[in-house]
């Protein structure tokens, strides 16, 4: 990685400090000093302890659970840097919360993804870096430039290192919404492509009906999704391909939200490994089959390129 010019500052909120530290190690520069805390009444406190006047500032903060606390802390950090006369403020949000509320699917409901985008922009962010948004159109909700990164190559390299490529592999999309993602993985990994037909009966209840494409029988199934939340969908898809005769099943996702009964479901499902990234911190997760990959080098390279006004898309064209 090329050396950085002067003027770059990277600060982190409390949501994922280890990831920020790894990013700064890749950039070969120290993490910026900032005081973050809470007043006795619970209000957030922030003080940037370094000069940011005229600097190119990057604020890393995934809005993972507790979503509201982490979002507010990001907004306060942005405001602190704005009032300290930073030249450009980039909000680096590896996991963007509220992304699933991206449209009105019934009457009298909000489009919260757009509301959060408005608030981040209004707070003073000049640019946003996000990773594997739940819906790609959320980029258009922001009135500032958005660099949308993909962790797919990081996941694919892991499976390639295990020798899971070629004709004995079937790449599985757990629902129709993930078809484009599965096609991308299939193009890089090879093998067959299958889609699980998922039917939703409510906001929390889904059922897997059929498998389209394949064949699955006798092959190693790689099931890809953008996030694992309650794990209902991805475990249902794993069970479906298991019933169809897959000899081995690996599931992979960028964001390990892991809420509700997710850990139990993943533990009980016929899955050989669960591969996720460190976009969200995973503390005290008891799941022996879990493998966590780091996206720090990917985010560090994106930060370097943005700072030098270089192409982000070229990162992915070069693999």
Q: Which domains does the chain have, with CATH numbers?
A: 8-150+296-317 (3.40.50.2020), 152-293 (3.40.50.2020)
User: Predicted confidence band at 3 (pLDDT cuts at 50, 70, 90)?
Assistant: very low
Q: pLDDT value at position 177?
A: 82
Asked if residue 56 has a cis previous peptide bond (ω within 30° of 0), the answer is no
**Distant-in-sequence, close-in-space partners of 80: CB < 8 Å, separation ≥ 6:** 46, 47, 48
- Asked if residue 50 has pLDDT above 50, the reply is yes
- Alpha carbons 69 and 64: distance in angstroms, whole number: 9
Question: Mean pLDDT lowest for which of 58-62, 121-125, 143-147, 284-288?
Answer: 284-288
pTM: 0.93
198 is catalytic: yes
pLDDT at 197: 84
Query: What is the maximal distance between C-alpha atoms in the chain?
Result: 61
Whole-number pLDDT of residue 209: 67
Q: What is the pLDDT of residue 207?
A: 58
User: ∠ at Cα 191 (185, 196), nearest 5°?
Assistant: 70
Q: Look at residue 36 in the predicted model and tell me its pLDDT.
A: 98
Closest CA to 192 of 245, 253, 256: 245
Under 8 Å between Cβ of 294 and 22: yes
What pLDDT, in 10s, does the model give residues 183-238?
999 999 999 999 998 665 555 555 566 889 878 999 999 999 999 999 998 999 99
- 35, pLDDT greater than 90: yes
Q: What is the pLDDT of residues 257-312, one digit of tens each?
A: 999 999 999 999 999 999 999 999 998 899 999 999 999 999 999 999 999 999 99
Neighbours of 250 (CB within 10 A): 25
Q: Out of 9, 192, 198, 291, pick the active-site residue.
A: 198
Through-space distance between the first and last CA atoms of the chain, rounded to whole angstroms: 15
Half-sphere exposure of 257 (CA within 13 A, CB side): 24
pLDDT digits (tens, 9 = 90+) for 99-131: 999 999 889 999 999 999 999 999 999 999 999
Q: Give 205: exposed, middle or buried? Use CB within 10 Å, 0-12, 13-18, 19+.
A: exposed
User: Which residues are within 8 A (CB) of 288 and not within 5 positions of it... i.e. 6 or more apart?
Assistant: none
The two tokens of residue 272 are 């050989």
The radius of gyration of the chain's CA atoms, rounded to the nearest angstrom, is 20
Measuring CA to CA, which residue among 34, 15, 127, 143 is closest to residue 84? 34
């Amino acid at each position: 990685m090329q050396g950085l010019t002067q003027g770059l500052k990277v600060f982190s909120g409390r949501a994922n400090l280890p990831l920020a530290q790894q990013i700064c190690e890749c950039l070969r520069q120290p993490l910026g000093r900032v005081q973050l805390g809470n007043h006795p009444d619970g209000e957030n406190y922030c003080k940037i302890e370094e000069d940011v006047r005229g600097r190119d500032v990057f604020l890393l903060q995934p809005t993972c659970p507790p979503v509201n606390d982490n979002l507010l802390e990001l907004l306060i950090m942005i405001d602190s840097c704005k009032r300290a006369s930073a030249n450009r403020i980039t909000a680096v949000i590896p996991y963007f919360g509220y992304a699933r509320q991206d449209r009105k699917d019934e009457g009298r409901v909000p489009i919260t993804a757009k509301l959060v985008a408005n608030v981040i922009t209004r707070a003073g962010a000049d640019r946003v870096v996000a990773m594997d948004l739940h819906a790609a159109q959320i980029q258009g909700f922001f009135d500032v430039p958005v660099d949308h990164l993909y962790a797919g190559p990081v996941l694919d390299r892991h499976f390639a290192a295990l020798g899971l490529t070629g004709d004995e592999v079937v790449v599985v999309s757990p629902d129709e919404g993930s078809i484009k993602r599965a096609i991308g993985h299939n193009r890089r990994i090879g093998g067959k492509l299958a889609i699980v037909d998922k039917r939703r009966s409510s906001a929390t209840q889904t059922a897997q009906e059929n498998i389209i494409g394949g064949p699955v029988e006798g092959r190693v199934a790689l099931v890809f999704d953008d996030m694992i939340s309650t794990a209902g969908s991805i475990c249902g898809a794993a069970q479906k391909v298991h019933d169809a005769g897959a000899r081995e099943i690996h599931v992979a996702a960028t964001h390990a939200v892991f809420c509700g009964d997710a850990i139990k479901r993943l533990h009980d499902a016929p899955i050989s490994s669960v591969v996720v990234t460190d976009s969200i911190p995973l503390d005290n997760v008891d799941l022996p089959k879990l493998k966590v990959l780091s996206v720090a080098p990917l985010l560090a390279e994106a930060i370097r390129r943005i700072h030098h006004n270089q192409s982000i898309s070229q990162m992915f064209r070069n693999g």
